[in-house]
Amino acid sequence: MLLHLTTWPEVEAYLERSRGIVIPIGSTEQHGPTGVIGTDAICAEAIARGVGDATEALVAPTINVGMALHHTSFPGTISLRPSTLMLVVRDYLTSLTKAGFTHFFFINGHGGNIATLKAAFAETYTAIAELNLPHGDRVRCRLSNWFTCHRVYQLAKELYGSQEGSHATPSEIALTQYLYAEAIKDAPLDPQVASGYPIYGPADFRRHYPDGRMGSNPALARPEHGQKFYELAVKELTEAYREFLKAD
């Protein structure tokens, strides 16, 4: 059930049976010479919709631009500053809590969002509690990264070993290949790929990771891998969402 294809009376009816909603969040950032800039948003959105189908949960519109400041030395990257993303999350949750939602299940496609999202959740719990809304002290956020799902992680290891790397990984590229066959890219990949440098600012990042990859070999990606990743992630996150709604 996609929020953007739903009417408000349908949402009103939904709220009588559930107070949960799935919110996909990605990023708009370089993914190496062959990965598409929307990779993280594409993956998060597709998996969130899969979870929505499996659980009859509402799925909110994707937050498709996230926290990618360290990638901004590469053209095409768009990033919110962490402080902006925190306000975006707060506005989302305030709007939805006023309507009666209390359980926010974020499906995340980008490691760089994690810290900011956690900070945003903490800030928002208190901000909403201060508004004295009916269910304001029942608000709960859960952050689930599809790429850290246990079975996803295992499959990536099996398929790619250390060539999975940590950015522009074959697993995420494979998932976009499965979803957008028309956007499978071909470009020369230097067999030597930088890895192991910590992430500091944007200039430093590009200095150390000149083609944008971090230790990965996305040439290993295949659409059929992508399908498997998709299925594993949807399955695991479907269970997680159900648990999330049940727990007190």
Q: Rank residues 44 and 51 by Cβ distance to a copy of itself and give the closer one.
A: 44
Q: How far is the CB of 237 from a copy of itself (least distance, A)?
A: 16
Q: How far is the CB of 30 from a copy of itself (least distance, A)?
A: 4
Residue of 86, 95, 83, 76 whose CA lies nearest to 27:
76
CB atoms within 10 A of CB 137: 11
Q: What are the residue ranges of helices labelled H in 38-180?
A: 39-55, 82-99, 114-129, 150-160, 170-179
Q: Rank residues 64 and 217 by Cβ distance to a copy of itself and give the closer one.
A: 64
Q: How far apart are CA 167 and CA 31, in angstroms?
A: 7
166 and 212 Cβ atoms separated by less than 8 Å: no
Total residues contacting a copy of itself by CB under 8 A comes to: 92
214 and 166 Cβ atoms separated by less than 8 Å: yes
219 sits near a copy of itself (criterion: CB under 8 A): no
Q: Restricting to residues 48-107, which ones interact with a copy of itself according to CB under 8 A?
A: 60-62, 64-65, 67, 69-70, 72, 74-84, 86-88, 90-92, 95-96, 98-100
Q: Restricting to residues 177-206, which ones interact with a copy of itself according to CB under 8 A?
A: 180, 182-183, 185, 187, 198, 200-204
Q: Restricting to residues 107-136, which ones interact with a copy of itself according to CB under 8 A?
A: 112, 114-123, 125-126, 128-132
Strand order of the β-sheet with 20-25 is: 58-59, 20-25, 103-108, 140-145
Q: Restricting to residues 137-166, which ones interact with a copy of itself according to CB under 8 A?
A: 137-142
β-pairing verdict for 58-59 and 20-25: parallel
Q: Rank residues 120 and 175 by Cβ distance to a copy of itself and give the closer one.
A: 120
Please identify which residue in 2, 54, 194, 220 interacts with a copy of itself, judged by CB under 8 A.
2
Q: Which amino acid is at 117?
A: L
Q: Rank residues 74 and 230 by Cβ distance to a copy of itself and give the closer one.
A: 74
Site string for a copy of itself, 9-48 (x = CB under 8 A): xxxx--x------------x-xxxxxxxxx--xx------
Q: How far apart are CA 192 and CA 169, in angstroms?
A: 15
Contacts of 145 (CB under 8 A, 6+ apart): 107, 108, 109, 111, 114
Q: Rank residues 115 and 224 by Cβ distance to a copy of itself and give the closer one.
A: 115
Q: Rank residues 158 and 182 by Cβ distance to a copy of itself and give the closer one.
A: 182
Q: How far is the CB of 221 from a copy of itself (least distance, A)?
A: 13
Place of tokens 């009376």: 9
CA 209-63-232 angle, 5° bins: 75
Q: Rank residues 145 and 155 by Cβ distance to a copy of itself and give the closer one.
A: 145
Q: Restricting to residues 226-245, which ones interact with a copy of itself according to CB under 8 A?
A: none
